[in-house]
Structure 1
Amino acid sequence: EKYEDAYAFTRKEVEELKGKGEENEIFETIIKKYKYLENNYDFILVEGTDFFNEVNSFEFDLNREIAQNLNIPVILVLNSKRYKTEDSLIKNTSLEIESYTEKNIKVISVIANKFKGDKDKFIHEIKQKHPDYLVSTLPIEPILSKPTVGEVAQELNAKILMGSTHLSTIMGKSIVGAMQMRNFLERLSENCLVITPGDRADLIVGTMLANISANYTKVAGIVLTGDYYPEESVVRLIEGIHPHLPVMIVKTGTFETANKVGSNKSKIYPTSTAKIKIALELFDKNVDTDELDAIITNYQSTQITPRMFQYNMMEQAYKIQKRIVLPEGTDDRILRAASMLAEDKVVYLTILGEEKKIKSQVNLLGLYWDEERIKIINPSTSSYLDDFSETLYHLRKEKGMQLAQARDLMHDVSYFGTMMVYKGLADGMVSGAINTTQHTIRTSGQGEEVEKVRLATEKVKQQRPDLLIEGPIQYDAAVDPKVGKQKLPDSEVAGQANVLIFPDLNTGNNTYKAVQRETGALAIGPVLQGLNKPVNDLSRGATVDDIYNT
């Protein structure tokens, strides 16, 4: 797989999208990338963000929203060095756990990284509140915070003169060689990195000799500054002394180079074999890996998040490629949604209206338009008009309908669209952005009347005793635990309901619109049941996204 398949955005891209209010695009892309990996691999570890030395709500909220939208469990890893005292670490750990759990995100383990306090106290304090969690600490390992010679070379954009096979050496201190040899040699320390101008042949040769001398410590490498190359005779000499010691050349001066080396933050790359070995040993020694493995292996979630539901729905639509008729072709929202659906190749569409007017409006709005996926039909001039009129006349003649009346009705986009569904020319119709709910659904023929809620509840309990169901119940008692406990203290559903069934369309419409407007929740539907043909209704206040999802 390509590296780009393993991440969705850079930090800068996320900040720009958030600034534009396009959070939906952030999570839709993350879900799409995640699902692609899920289909190709047995296990996925979502690393989350790691903005160095920053403690801000942006990063924290982003990680929480990623976990929530992917519906995956969390291993909470805290950088203990960010907290001044052990008590503040314990307090903030508890707050972070609560911020996840209050969003119904499952935390399975807590690890305090770079920990240097009372290990037993920390574990005891956290497990008092969360006894089921695996709580661990990882002590500070100084070697892991030190860069390798290769990391320094990459940071300095250096050219490797020799010793390219030993770039994984972990360096100690860096020293600047600008003094005489006798003073320079006294400053050498274990695995130090020597920084010296490229024309100081004496210090270069002296470093090489010290590196092989039994009386001096090993050196990690040499950085030659100022873009000065040693003379050819010097290069031949040092290659014969120690060809494996890394020597690199940089264009920057000695002072600037030393500053860059000093501020370089260590990382662990796939090629950092020595660091990886140390990190694995540290983890195995301090974390019960068998218990962690069992927790991860046994974790199962039966929940599905709204955005994941939306993704699955769109994936299903993409696979089956249905044709949907949109009667209200004069509405800009319909045209924008149609453009998005065509660009995403989710469905084939038929839009009803005058072709010239629709295309003119599409051009005015600057919309993407795919004529293979979007057809425009004018009911008044369509070749289907006579056949549709005859069909409606035969269906309704027993109720007194005349052929001329049927023909007049077929000029109405709602009747024409419904007849397309009836005749199999479309798989479904979505309408209501302009027309009323009654106008949208009456043409399809209504199903049986809904029974009283109490009788319906009893019927479900008889047929599916395994389902937890409560009714009649008011909305606040259904979703608010405190209200539910007060009104129905013995109910297993009150305050925890995750499926709401309404007795009629008006009640459902009013409730979902109120919830959507107040909470900003994703709204799909309403999904109508009991109609003879698949016709779905839109709210006249529907947004482009509402139309897209419906």
Structure 2
Amino acid sequence: MRATGWRRIRPRSTAWTTTRRSALQAEQGADELVSTLVERFHRVARAFDVVLVLGTDYADTQFPDELALNARLANEFGASVIPVVGGRKQTVESVLAESRNAYRAYRGLGCDVLAMVTNRVDPEDREEIASRLATRVPVPCYVLPDEPALSAPTVSQISHALGATVLLGDDSGLARDALDFVFGGAMLPNFLEALTPGCLVVTPGDRADLVIGSLAAHSAGTPPIAGLLLTLGEVPTGQILTLAARLAPGTPVVSVPGNSFLTAEQLFSLEGKLNAATPRKAETALGLFERHVDTGDLLRRVSAPSTDRVTPMMFEHKLLEQARSDKRRVVLPEGTEERVLHAAEVLLRRGVCDLTLLGPVDQIRKKAADLGIDLGDCRLIDPATSELRDAFAEKYAALRAHRGVTVELAYDVVSDVNYFGTLMVQEGLADGMVSGSVHSTAATIRPAFEIIKTKPDADIVSSVFFMCLADKVLVYGDCAVNPDPDAEQLADIAVQAAATAAQFGVEPRIAMLSYSTGTSGSGADVDKVREATELVRERRPDLKIEGPIQYDAAVEPTVAATKLPGSEVAGQASVLIFPDLNTGNNTYKAVQRSAGAIAVGPVLQGLRKPVNDLSRGALVQDIVNTVAITAIQAQIPSRDGRTAGPTSSEKATDL
């Protein structure tokens, strides 16, 4: 999209929507109201390439002609329209009628209707509604099911609405969605049977048995609750609160003065709000939208003429969208790590891929419960107790027999989460693996070298980083694995990096970097790069490549025009291959820190199946991006899909 900036036009406050607008229309008429809004629109539009206008939602309005006014404004602005029809608690026939009427009404008033969105329909009716609308409305109709988590208030929102006092809990706990309300009155055994996942327990504050019982159940993950709301203004003793804090750290316990009946009346009138303070709801909403809306088609319908400009946010969005298009299962060996659990929740809410977490299952559940994380359908496996351990031990012993590995020794080795996860990938129980947030690079990739091995067409395993600059994405290789590749290996890195770039939508234009450009320099280091460039040209004459070339000549058109005029790569290189690890690693970190670039990676290439390593300082978004990349890599299987035997390349990578 050709947008250098976005601006939403909407009333600055509720007062403008009701009081000021009503007065203006009453005193000077609808024409003056429209004229004022059009003038405000064009004042903003002059400064931006794209303006998003949110029409009114017809809620709590005293204006009977809302639809006509919205349609008129759209026409005056020269804006296309995407009507959104609410379908919550409506029958199929009612939703169909509302959607068709909305389309006809806007079209009848002269609007350019690009598409329709029918929102919050009964999940069981979604397919039928979508199918029938497709034959009755001549524009795309995107039908989204109702999602309880979006309308569920958070514990924080409940506390604010009821004026509750927070006794225990952190920000993460208060951000949990209250998916249900369970009122405590029964004896503990019967009460525990009534608990549901994500429920808010409402009980008098003097029922210490229900307070401790609820938190104990939460700690065990059977089930995890949103928190406790204590009524009657009764506060448990300090001993009880101390025990509660130790049982379920972070889980909110709040107190209100009212009785349970009054509190219930207030609770059932609350509905969750999607805003900047509810990031989990935002992830859920985005995942729901991306699963049920053809975003590519919608983007084409609303876009201005596109350019090659790619921002970091655009690149990350494309990663998630591409991974979601053909969902794969990724195994995460570090299942008890907090950042991994947060990333897993984002990935599951966005529907990016299926996940398996490794580690002691009770610990994973407890940690997730303490963090208020819903792991949904995530598969949990403890390698130490898994029924797969015996078979994996036999498999690993067979693969490593030439190294003297026995089944007994292998039985101990495969209990390691990285070895277990790698064997899951090798045996087709997972499509890829991501580790390294708490493990070293060697601990993460050594099992892959031993078990998965290199592709038949790859000499070595290497890596690239996707460097997301302000307006483009560059591919850097190798910045993480090979310390001092020779010419053959450097050529292999270049060919692999070009394939990786193309897989992720970056047109490969390869620059083989050196301290000299063209024929201006000589010496062993330059000659190595020159030889590697010629080897790439022999192996892949279809690739655009230049080398040796200096960094400035590779990426800056004005420098390229002086040093290598006429080159189809110089000045516009997208894949930059460094002569050694020292140069590559320092350069990517310098660009990352000095230019504010987002570095995504390292992404390993050359393995038969995808395994990727994380930095031990990886942020949650870094983990999300790396998992998405791994899932995309898994969408293209190896050429023969067979396990490689010992090869010459194994000797170079067998640690």
Q: TM-score range by the shorter chain?
A: 0.3 to 0.5
| Structure having greater relative contact order (Cα 8 Å, sep ≥ 6) | 2
TM-score normalised by structure 1 residue count: 0.47
